[in-house]
Structure formats: C-alpha cells, structure tokens
C-alpha cells in the first residue's frame, strides 16, 4: 500500500509519551454521516492533536476492525487530515506505526506473536462446519485482505433464547480450539446488515484489550494515563482495559447497557471534550 499517496499530516513525534489515547475508528472517530457539524468537530480535534500532542506528550492510536486498505479509503473519501501515531487494524491483528521514523512499518514483535498462535483458515473452517451441525449457521463476510489472522462472519438473529445459546456455543467452541472470537451486534451505520451479529475469529491474545496492554508495555506509559473511546459492544473490553474508558454519546444501546461511563457529546466532539478535561 502506498501511504504517501494520501494527503495527511503526521502528528509530532513524541519520544517519551506520557498519555496514550486509543479510539475506535468507524462511528467513534469517523462519523459516516459526515455532516458539516461532524467535519467541524473532527477538524477541531485534529488541530488540538497537531498543536498539543508534543507539548502534552500524547500519542494516539485507532483500534479498529477495519482493514488498513479500508481505513485509507475512508481517509481519502471523508477528507481526514491527520494520521494517528499507530493503527491497530483488522481487530488488532495488524499493528502499524505512522511517524517520521516508522512510516507504515508493522510491529515485528506483534507479528511474530501472531505467527506462534497456530491460527489458520482451515481451523476456523472446521469450527464453522461443526457449528453448522448444531444448526448454528454463520455467513462469511467479505474477507479483509490485509490480514490472514482475521476471519469474519455474520450470525443472523432469530430470537433471544436461541441467540443466547448460539453465542454461548460459538464462544465455547472457539475457546476449546484455543482461538479468540469477538461477537457484537452489527451497526448498520457502518454498512452492516440489520439484525445481525458480527462474529470475528482471531488468534488468541489479539483483541482490542490486548493491543492496549501491548502498547502500554512497549511505551512504559503509566496505566493511569491511558484513555480510550468506543461506541459499540466490541469496544467494551478496550474501555475496561484503560484507566479512563468512555463511550461517546452516539454509542449503541447494547454498548450503553455494558459500560456506564458515557460522554454526552458524540464522535470527535466527545473525544476532544474528555481530552481537554483529563489532560491539563
């Protein structure tokens, strides 16, 4: 991927960061409606980060289920002007840095950890076949090309009792196989179908919370200075893995039932409001 084709600015390089901010991308940082108020709020956050991140020693990362290809397509489409310091894409199965020293470079330690897990397409296909025998049908999603460590499916909702049993069975079979599965209600605003769950199989130890723990360890940033933002059920573990985890105001009803710390403002307006409060 030729990252230089995109007209974005880099955040200042922070050699010894004091704060780290993790944020979901789709419908948290990026409002897909992209109305004028959303553009204005995003511009304000971008200006804050460009002007304040070096002085206040802040690094920022997007932690998302989207692939790098998809992210850069959206950067171009929606006119985002600033790249974060790192992007944990494809549900944390890819970790890429964007700064003057490591522009577009993947984290080699993280990649090596994934290769040791034994995760494979064949293993996931076997699990899906076994679930089908129990009348639990998973529909393949278009696969993310950037990562061989993420396999995505949809589970179509039936009724509360059947769905609860199906989700429990999916989690149990993944656990027995030694891999991770992330299950969350789809958000149609992100282009997902109605009345479905995302079912995402990944190697063990690669979820959003694992990215938080890895980055904190690699940077030696104090846990008390870790901040995160999200809007859906698959962000909850990340929000609970930091000291200051917030749902933005436009979060899904499912997410709001699972996490009590909710910023009243939506999207980047909510992110900026929290950062100005926490980082003096």
Which residues are known to be catalytic? 24
- The structure tokens 């920022």 sit at 60
From CA 105, how far away is CA 118, in angstroms rounded?
24
The CA-based angle 31-9-244, given to 5 degrees, is 55
Helices (H) and strands (E) in the chain, counts: 9, 13
User: What is the DSSP-derived secondary structure letter of residue 26?
Assistant: B
CA distance 137 to 90: 23
- For 227, counting Cβ atoms within 10 Å of its Cβ (0-12 exposed, 13-18 middle, 19+ buried), the class is buried
């Amino acid at each position: 991927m030729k990252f230089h084709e995109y007209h974005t600015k880099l955040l200042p390089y922070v050699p010894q960061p004091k704060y780290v901010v993790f944020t979901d991308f789709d419908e948290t940082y990026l409002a897909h409606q992209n109305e004028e108020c959303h553009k204005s709020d995003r511009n304000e956050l971008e200006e804050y980060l460009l002007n304040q991140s070096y002085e206040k020693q802040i690094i920022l990362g997007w932690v998302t289920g989207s692939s790098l290809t998809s992210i850069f397509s959206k950067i171009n489409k929606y006119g985002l002007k600033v790249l974060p310091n790192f992007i944990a894409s494809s549900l944390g199965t890819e970790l890429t840095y964007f700064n003057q020293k490591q522009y577009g470079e993947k984290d080699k330690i993280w990649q090596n950890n994934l290769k040791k897990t034994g995760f494979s397409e064949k293993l996931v296909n076997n699990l899906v076949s076994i679930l089908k025998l129990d009348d639990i049908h998973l529909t393949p999603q278009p696969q993310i090309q950037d990562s061989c460590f993420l396999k995505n499916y949809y589970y179509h909702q039936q009724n509360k009792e059947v769905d609860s049993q199906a989700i429990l069975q999916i989690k149990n079979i993944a656990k027995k196989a030694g891999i991770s599965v992330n299950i969350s209600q789809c958000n149609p605003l992100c282009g997902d179908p109605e009345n479905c769950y995302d079912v995402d199989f990944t190697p063990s130890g690669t979820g959003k919370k694992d990215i938080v723990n890895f980055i904190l360890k690699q940077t030696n940033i104090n846990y008390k200075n870790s901040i995160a933002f999200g809007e859906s059920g698959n962000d909850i573990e990340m929000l609970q893995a930091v000291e200051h985890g917030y749902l933005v105001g436009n979060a899904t009803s499912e997410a709001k039932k699972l996490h009590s710390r909710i910023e009243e403002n939506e999207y980047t307006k909510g992110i900026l409001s929290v950062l100005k409060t926490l980082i003096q």
